[in-house]
Amino acid sequence: AQSVAQPEDQVNVAEGNPLTVKCTYSVSGNPYLFWYVQYPNRGLQFLLKYITGDNLVKGSYGFEAEFNKSQTSFHLKKPSALVSDSALYFCAVRDTPMAGGFKTIFGAGTRLFVKA
């Protein structure tokens, strides 16, 4: 089965500084990778995805992610963090298809704190 790992439970960054939230993946075949964000008392919201093409993927709210095949990583980045970016971030991967369906597997999540 495919899987993703988020090695950091929490990331702290000062407002205005660049942020990175790390994700590594383990897949057989071509990976379909995603980032989602969850704000308090809300459902998850899609940020960006990598299917194929450019290794640098741009997404919502100024976020981007870099796909690195040799390091099997898909780190989420933002050049300048905002306090409002504080949330729970999930990396996700499409699992191997089964019986005509797919499931998306989520990492454990990384909590981002942006201090003013």
Partner 1 sequence: DSGVTQTPKHLITATGQRVTLRCSPRSGDLSVYWYQQSLDQGLQFLIQYYNGEERAKGNILERFSAQQFPDLHSELNLSSLELGDSALYFCASSVEISGANVLTFGAGSRLTVL
Window 51-90: residues binding partner 1 (CB under 8 A): 51, 90
**Least distance (Å) between residue 44 CB and partner 1:** 5
Q: Is 40 in the site for partner 1 (CB under 8 A)?
A: no
Give strand pairing partners of 114.
13
Between 17 and 45, name the residue whose CB sits nearer to partner 1.
45
Task: Determine the size of the site formed for partner 1 (CB under 8 A).
Answer: 27
Rounded to the nearest angstrom, the gap between the alpha carbon of residue 2 and the centroid of all alpha carbons in its chain is 15
Q: Which of 3, 12, 26, 45 binds partner 1 (CB under 8 A)?
A: 45
DSSP 97: P
Interface with partner 1 (CB under 8 A): 32, 34, 36, 41-46, 49, 51, 90, 94-95, 97-109
